[in-house]
Amino acid sequence: MTDRVHNVLFLCTHNSARSVMAECLLNREGRGRFRAYSAGSQPTGRLNPQVRDLLERLDFPTATLRSKSWDEFALPGAPHMDVIVTVCDSAAGEVCPVWPGQPMTAHWGFPDPSSAQGSDAERAAFTATVFGQIQRRIQAFASLPFAALDRLALKRRLDDMAGAGNGA
């Protein structure tokens, strides 16, 4: 892999929580080495309110965030993806569009903040916990020496990250 900006697409079924958090985190943690996007197979059309609140409290820009279909990234003229990561088990099991350029793929399953039960405070706490899990994975991903790894070595590292569990 070369030392350039790498496009990464995070996929989740509804593109309302986990994939959006991963997009925001990589765009911040990647410090210009990555350009992150997110999408879903069945987008809800809106962000999870706890996710939006958390991102805003942590000073992530949210004005342009939206829940969108992964079809947008399979169209001519869409950004060429280098890596595609599913962050929910449902999306990992779906038939994805054919992505131009044969991007590397990985699956990093995380619990769904949208499934959180309880009071607003309990749902917010669950969302923050999932955010922390995603953040640790994104930090590990962003620290990979992309320029020093060939495709096979990078794929192995991405798969190893998934096997490390959500606390990694």
All structural domains of the chain? 6-157 (3.40.50.2300)
pLDDT at 94: 63
| Segment 124-147 mean pLDDT | 95
Q: pLDDT digit string (tens) for 110-132?
A: 999 998 999 999 999 999 999 99
pLDDT confidence tier of residue 2, bands split at 50, 70 and 90: low
Contact 68, 39 (CB under 8 A): yes
Task: Identify the residue with better confidence: 132 or 147.
Answer: 132
Determine the Cα–Cα distance for residues 137 and 166; give it in Å rounded to an integer: 8
> What average pLDDT is seen over the chain?
89
| Degrees to nearest 5, angle at CA 151 with 85 and 95 | 35
Q: What pLDDT band is residue 48 in, cutting at 50, 70 and 90?
A: very high
User: CA 110, CA 116: separation in Å to the nearest integer?
Assistant: 13
- Share of residues in the chain with pLDDT > 70 (%): 91
pLDDT exceeds 80 at position 141: yes
- pLDDT tens digits for 78-101? 999 999 999 987 655 666 677 778
Q: Which residues contact 137 (CB under 8 A, 6 or more apart)?
A: 108, 161, 166, 168
The pLDDT of 17-23, averaged and rounded, is: 97
Return d(Cα 96, Cα 69) in angstroms, integer: 11
